[in-house]
A and B are shown apart, each in its own frame.
Chain A
Amino acid sequence: EVQLVQSGAEVKKPGESLKISCKGSGYSFTSYWIAWVRQMPGKGLEWMGIIYPGDSDTKYSPSFQGQVTISADKSISTAYLQWNSLKASDTAMYYCARLVSRSGPLDYWGQGTLVTVSS
């Protein structure tokens, strides 16, 4: 069974750093792209970027380039989303999801990680 299991909810202060994770199982983690998607409170889905764990090739949406870092550790089948300096506007639910193929849809999703940034 394909599963993506994300790390737990986080509460941080502005300016702090954070790294959240997404662990894949039940499939060849290195053979599928992983995407990160943001959903701000009460809002829609936003495509942040993708990574290919096999070689760590990474593509960012222009809106998120330079704001976050996407990485992966294929030895433990885990992808990451990282911030160096959080802002209140980063408060959102963050989902990881698997791409069927580089031109395909998102067929499996993690349960989401809620990040709250507040002073």
Chain B
Amino acid sequence: DIQLTQSPSFLSASVGDRVTITCRASQGISSYLAWYQQKPGKAPELLISAASTLQSGVPSRFSGSGSGTEFTLTISSLQPEDFATYYCQQLNSYPPGRTFGQGTKVEIK
């Protein structure tokens, strides 16, 4: 099974900060990676697919990059509504093995 490791697990930042979250895969997954945002008490929402394709309606301050085994989600200028938990998910495996990273919680400093 492909394992995903996110870092950091917890991040404290201020409004306006540039934030970067890393997701590392245990083996190469090309660009088969998605990023989701989950706010407390809500279902996750898709932010980015194919490692770098921003979903319609997602603010341009979000961006994704990477391929192979290392990926990043960047928020260029953190806004109050961005405080949430972020998950990566690999889409390379046959469907039963579509693992998620353990999550990165972004909190207000």
Cβ contact within 8 Å between B100 and A45:
yes
Interface 0/1 of B25-68, CB less than 8 Å to A: 00000001010101000011110010000010000000000000
Which residues of chain B come closer than 8 Å to A95, judged between CB atoms?
43-44
What total of chain A residues lie within 8 Å of the partner, measured CB to CB?
26
- Per-position 1/0 for A9-38, Cβ under 8 A of B: 000000000000000000000000101010
**Chain B interface (Cβ < 8 Å from any Cβ of A):** 1, 32, 34, 36, 38, 43-46, 49, 55, 87, 89, 91, 94-103
CB contact list, A80-105 vs B, under 8 A: 95, 97, 100, 102-105
* CB within 8 Å of B: which A38-81 residues: 44-47, 49-50, 59-62
B35 to chain A, nearest CB (A): 9
